[in-house]
Amino acid sequence: MRVLMYYANQDVRVETMPVPEIGPDELLLKVFASGICGSDVMEWYRRDKVPLVLGHEVAGEVVSAGNRVEKFKPGDRVAVTHHVPCNTCHYCLSGHHTVCDTLLKGTHFDPGGFAEYLRVPGINVDRGVFPIPEGVTYGEASFMEPLACVLRGQKTAALKPGQTVLVLGSGISGLLHVGLARALGAGLVAAVDTISYRLQKARDMGADLALHGDDDVLTALRQANEGRLADLVILCFDGFIPLALKAVEKGGTLLFFAGAPEGATLPATINDLFWRTEITLTSSYAGAPVDCKTALSLIKEKAVQVLETVTHRLTLAEGPSGFQNVCAPTEHDCIKIIVEPHMK
């Protein structure tokens, strides 16, 4: 089978490898859609693991099932998630499934979503494979995993209906946050970016305000929000960290959703940030199985218009250019790229 082998952002090659063999508790999946995630181009995060086949936002069709698999059969349309929790450790039992060591280090696809076929391990089959609802395309279903991450983040930040939400960074994660905040009943939703094309997409996803990063964001936010800043600030781009720390209203929450460069620190003093402000700083990583299930329901009901974010659909042969486009979004009006390994 053909795969995209990742060596570096500018060195992704179409190579061949054997179709994986499955065990009695496993599935073989024919991949029809696999999204390129922002984390896929974090070279510092990948450099000690290359070469490897990436791709974790996956939807496809079951080709074969191990003889002990009861929930799925050949022909089933499914969305799958690569990281799943153990459900039995201290963290899982306290509701923190996404910091479970099994989820963080112990589960993955073989070889990855940027391949014509992949093996779904038994633990993933048990709690990380979900039937695609009728009427939902493979492309839409590939958003299950990223939307689940976004949903987990807003749950962690305890978003309440009517609150003002400021999303900093309007790439794919930011746009999904805008769409989900709108779906969950947020009041004013504002988005910030430095790329005009993304700001228009933010409006399409439901943002009331779409502000350029060079604008006076704080003044514009106060003017539109009865003199107040944001109840919830969602940081989706590390370049906006200084702005994020200034944009949270007293009693509000700052959600660190995006990863930051190695060694990044917070440019703030404790007294200025916390004393007498009751501001909460929190973070979120990945999604739990329940978030995946809910995300698929939201996609089915069109509560979040995920396809609004898709700018490129590529064959596997075109996949290397997709990584380059993600790294240079201003040159290609690029937001979400979906690789379709069996598209001709």
Does residue 131 share a domain with residue 16?
A: yes
Does residue 306 share a domain with residue 181?
A: no
Better-predicted residue by pLDDT, 107 or 234: 234
pLDDT at residue 269, rounded to an integer: 84
Q: Per the domain annotation, does 167 fall within a domain? A: yes
pLDDT at residue 9, rounded to an integer: 92
How is residue 202 written in tokens? 């933010």
Does residue 220 share a domain with residue 87?
A: no
For the question of whether the overall pTM of this predicted structure is more than 0.85, the answer is yes
CATH number of the domain enclosing 54: 3.90.180.10
pLDDT at residue 27, rounded to an integer: 98
Q: Per the domain annotation, does 152 fall within a domain? A: no
Last-in-domain residue among 249, 265, 283? 283
Q: Per the domain annotation, does 121 fall within a domain? A: yes
pLDDT above 80 for 331: no
DSSP state of 127: H
- Angle of the 144-156 helix axis to the 289-300 helix axis, nearest 10: 110
Does residue 183 share a domain with residue 142?
A: no
Q: Is 81 in contact with 56 (CB distance < 8 Å)?
A: yes
CATH number of the domain enclosing 264: 3.40.50.720
pLDDT at residue 270, rounded to an integer: 85
Q: Per the domain annotation, does 71 fall within a domain? A: yes
Q: Per the domain annotation, does 344 fall within a domain? A: no
- Asked if omega into 242 is within 30° of 0 (cis), the reply is no
Q: Per the domain annotation, does 241 fall within a domain? A: yes
Q: Map tokens 């290397």 to a residue.
A: 320
Does residue 26 share a domain with residue 75?
A: yes
Q: Per the domain annotation, does 153 fall within a domain? A: no
Domains: count for the chain: 2
- Residue 342: CB atoms within 10 Å: 16
pLDDT at residue 177, rounded to an integer: 98
Does residue 218 share a domain with residue 252?
A: yes
The pLDDT tens digits for 2-43 are: 999 999 999 999 999 999 999 999 999 999 999 999 888 888
Does residue 290 share a domain with residue 142?
A: yes
CA angle centred on 319, ends 311 and 337, rounded to 5°:
20
The pLDDT tens digits for 269-311 are: 888 888 889 999 999 999 999 999 999 999 999 999 999 999 9
Does residue 194 share a domain with residue 244?
A: yes
Does residue 8 share a domain with residue 142?
A: yes
Q: Residues near 288 by Cβ (< 8 Å), separated by ≥ 6? A: 85, 97, 98, 148, 152
How is residue 26 written in tokens? 């496993």
Does residue 273 share a domain with residue 236?
A: yes
Q: Is 206 left (phi over 0), alpha (psi -120 to 50) or beta?
A: left
Task: Give percent of the chain with pLDDT exceeding 90.
Answer: 87
pLDDT at residue 318, rounded to an integer: 97
Does residue 173 share a domain with residue 91?
A: no
Show the 3-state SS of 34-76: EECCHHHHCHHHHCCCCCECCCCEEEEEEEEECCCCCCCCCCC
The pLDDT tens digits for 236-278 are: 998 999 999 999 999 999 999 988 777 788 888 888 888 889 9
Q: Per the domain annotation, does 151 fall within a domain? A: no
The band of 171, judged by pLDDT with boundaries at 50, 70 and 90, is: very high
Q: Is 300 in contact with 133 (CB distance < 8 Å)?
A: yes
pLDDT above 90 for 48: no
The pLDDT tens digits for 52-95 are: 999 999 999 999 999 999 999 999 999 999 999 999 999 999 99
Q: How confident is the model over 106-134, as a mean pLDDT?
A: 96
pLDDT at residue 315, rounded to an integer: 97
133: phi then psi, degrees, rounded to nearest 5? -60, 155
Boundaries of domain holding 268: 158-283
Does residue 110 share a domain with residue 204?
A: no
